[in-house]
Structure 1
Amino acid sequence: MEVSGMGQDILKALDNTHCDDIINNECIDNVFQCIISLKDGSVLGYEALCRGPKETAYEKPQSLFEMAKENGKIFELEKICKKKAIEKFKSKGEQLKLFVNIDPGCFLKEEEGINLLDDLFMSWAKDFCYVIFEVTEKTGIHDYKRFNNVISKYKKSGISISVDDVSNGYAGINMLSNLEPLYMKINMELVRDIHKEPFKKTVIKSLVVIANNSNSKLIAEGIETKDELDVLIDLGVHYGQGYYIQKPSYELLYTHSNIKHYILERNSIKSDIRIQNITTTKIGEISRSITNVSSNTVGREVNMLFDKESGIQGIPVVDKDKPVGLIMKHKFYRYLGRQYGYSIYMDRAIEILMDNTPLIIDFDTPLDQVTKIAMLRDDDTLYDYIIVTKNNTYYGIATIKDLLEKTTEIELNRAKYANPLTGLPGNIIIEQKISNIIKSTEDYSVLYFDIDNFKSYNDVYGFDNGDRIIEMLGNLIQQCMSLYEFEKGFLGHIGGDDFVAIVESHTINKLCETIIDRFDKSILHYYSEIDQKKGYIMAENRHGTIEQFPLMSISIAVVNNKNRCFASASQLAEYASKIKKKCKIRWTSNYIIGDITE
């Protein structure tokens, strides 16, 4: 029904009456949503979210503020909302942060903007340090100089600034550079389904770097699932809020202890540096879900999907949860570009155009196998999507670009923590692996390897030959671990001629004996025939005196949890060093399995 001009005037007058009633009677309340640390789950503070009169059209803040703007009452409404939030917050006696949303339009009237401070905090002896003004640019800021004049007065009084929606393009970045906020909020649209969308991860990863370099803290809004929380923790986002953590409440509630425990646990896992490799990382870990269609979908609908979602280069064809084909964008438009192609294919089922033999890979297939299979495709399909299934049903897709990025990341990460000579994990990973194994309930043995008389050999034969021996020993230990089916064991290179192996077994006698036997045979090839026959070399000792040194041998100090437990990796290492000293006294290749007399 069309409303006449007079009718519109009446409605506007009624609306104005409602607005005046709400403002004059201060019919405003606030709900509070908890903001917590994504490092330890502790509560940073609460965001105050205003609400109009219950069970009215103005209960939702959007309707309330639209009404106030239309009636020229936005400044009055802002004051009441903040006043009510502060009164309620202070009455709880919380020594936390209170985040209150501020419309920048309020500050553009400079005189009123400055006076707002006194009006808000008149009752609280101007104790402003707990207040965070959350500024958004929804209304647009055209005069940053004037805006900053007011903001700087708030900052001098102890109030901190948070910028909302930092991911919203140029406007958000412009506000950041002008305000230099203490907190930056990530828009919930960027948080939604972040575990499925690599580009969103990349954006937030960049924001984490910006925040860390500018002394700011990131707050992720709208966290609704455990998967989203996991990714944000792993990316290093500082704080978070959302329904998964806690829904807004009229009371200032703490989060459930389970959430805090989970965040601590997740950070513990995160700090557990893991050296991935392409033989254990699964294709499912880098796959993502995208739009799919059924085989009877017509070309017109597929065309609309490609237009709507410009970022996708292909669409899986799925019937009853089973992938049956794939239509790549460039091939689809190749068909349409043929003579009469548009007329022929737009209203016909996509099954006549789709590739009905796409590459379909199971979720658990390692990346190295996927790469080999994918590279066997012919040139026309080489860069087509790889369809991933789980339990024989459609799961998602992965691209050649995804494969290249992940394998590159794995290699760079492995190199970062690896010994440059052998490529084996270095001290950081070794310590962590030992810490993990001593916490487990499994049987384990930790083997420390040390070459005897290695320094004297280095002095006589040179560092290049010394490096060849270190590489030989690393390969030898790996071969023997494989021989006795300890492939799942761990081998690390401490540095120099020292190695550490961890196996989940107490039965390691044959392993040690085989390593010693093969080492003693192999080491002879690194000496001249004369030195082999003599059985020693002449070299300077630590005091500069020339003396005889026997040919190199190997000492293996073994520590296990058969008769004792260890509280830390350092305690185990200290115990192993005592066993190693006993090994080295013997001057021939040998191994000792603790216990020793303290």
Structure 2
Amino acid sequence: MLGILPVEKYRTTARAQFLARLPLPRMKEQAMTPLREILEQRRLSALFQPIIDLKSGEFLGFEGLIRGPADSPLHSPINLFGAAEQQGLQLELEMLSRQTVLETFARLNLPGNLFLNVSPLTLTNPSFKNGQTLAFLSQLGLNPERVIIEITENQPTFDFEGMRNALLHYRSMGFKIAIDDLGEGFSSLRLWSELRPEFIKIDMHFVQGVDHDPIKLQFLKSIQHIAESCGTHVIAEGVETEAELRVVKDIGIALGQGYFIARPSPTPPLLASSETSSIINSTNIAVFPKAELNRRSQMSAHKLLTYVEPVHPETLNDHVFQRFTDNPALRTIPVVKGGKPHGLINRYQFIDRFAKPYQRELMGRKPCGGLIAGEPLLVEKSMPIEELSHFLAEADSRHFADGFIITENGRYIGVASGQDLLRELTQMQLEAARYANPLTLLPGNVPINEHIERLLQADTPFVACYCDLDHFKPFNDTYSYRKGDEMIQLTGRILSWACDPKLDFIGHIGGDDFILLMQSRDWRSRCEQALRSFEQAAELMFREEHLAAGGYSSEGRDGTVTFHPLTSLSIGATQIQPGLFMSHHEVSAAMTDAKKMAKKTAGNSLFIEQRSQPTTRSMP
């Protein structure tokens, strides 16, 4: 069971009997290789890497790792276990590895739990179901409840039922279960659903870079949501940076492991570093990466499809006329033979032709295929909507009004029109603008509101700033909308430079309005620096005569000439204390009031709301 081996000859009878069970004689029958020498001389060493509780900041336990001799090419675990697989010595190596880790863990008297790596091959081997593990743990003074069997998947698991039964057997004896590398292994999801392990380790691929990858962020969120529903603790492996730790913690993941927390060591630390502790104990929240694409950008032509019962090319025109008469909303009727589209009959062209004298009498009994106007535009249902818009723009203009046929593998499945496409494109643009402003590519209204809600739910004090350009419309009218766009983009860049990307969030709600949600302790000096930078940079956008005059004049609709000061930047800042605001709507209203006060001061200005707020926590 678990393949535990003693590392030296014991004097007691029980240990001597245990030693006698080792499969070493079989190894001696063959030529001695470097790996065989390592196993014969038991030259393995154990390292331990802490696993930290991301709420308390304490170490839950340690993962036991194995290394070969330092002076050997087999020092690396990749080389060591690769050689074992090539030489058919996986079981022997794993048995000695487990024993080495357990003995070293007991000798160091490490606190907490031990995560013990076990492969499915070792787990299901019949020779391990004899109870010797419990006896060995008893000799070492280790309670099985402190040992967590961590299932590693470096090869496919074929005996799934055997592994499942073995794990349930070990659990009945007090061991806990962890599944390693979720998202990378072969059967980890199935194991999770059937075994309900106490711990799940997320493969480090999904953790590393999560602070700037929205897809990885969504993966971790989804795994955490599933884990909460089934009582499993998630361990994020491979945490290597401060930013990754902040994001993992804010998602709500329970445990973390990685080089940033502590590297594997023969004598691991028993307490978290001050740097790690400061992040875990901080009330600040991470700035999540923004999604560059929303779900609508992935939509295809199938979204536009409307099924209209087709007619055969030999269908009489009288029948087509009757269908148009019975259904006033019907704009086109597809003509299809054997599933293959032949064309479209346009309602207005058809009715117009039949309305002429004697045309119905002459044409009513003729097949409708003769009234198809030109080749139809065929679109596969999988074509992305944005690609379809370019495709339709390059096609004959009649297809926009007449519509086009949507196919699946060349067979008719429905129709759509240019109006349908235009409606969907407009909706896509409106929704995209809510997530990211197309001019500056900064987060839009939805991410702004989501970040405010996260800050409020975390009881984190922050400063909400509403930034607005003064006298922007006269500048736009005087210098052109293109220059106006440049002014907005310049403002976005200056405000972004003023933010700490680890702590501060910048959003663009539209036009010349920006939002800053700042957790930086020096937020005030950052805002003041943004005002100075804007004043210097904006001068380059005005003509010399306007700079000399301090503004410019323009004529209104009523003919009145008005003088307008140079465009400036106003920032209204509100200090948000825990418990004061209940939703992003209330924060938005407070920001708006502060902005109005800032705009009452001429030139570049910062207004800080100073009214007292009921709180017991000081503002950073």
What TM-score do the two structures reach when normalised by structure 2?
Answer: 0.47
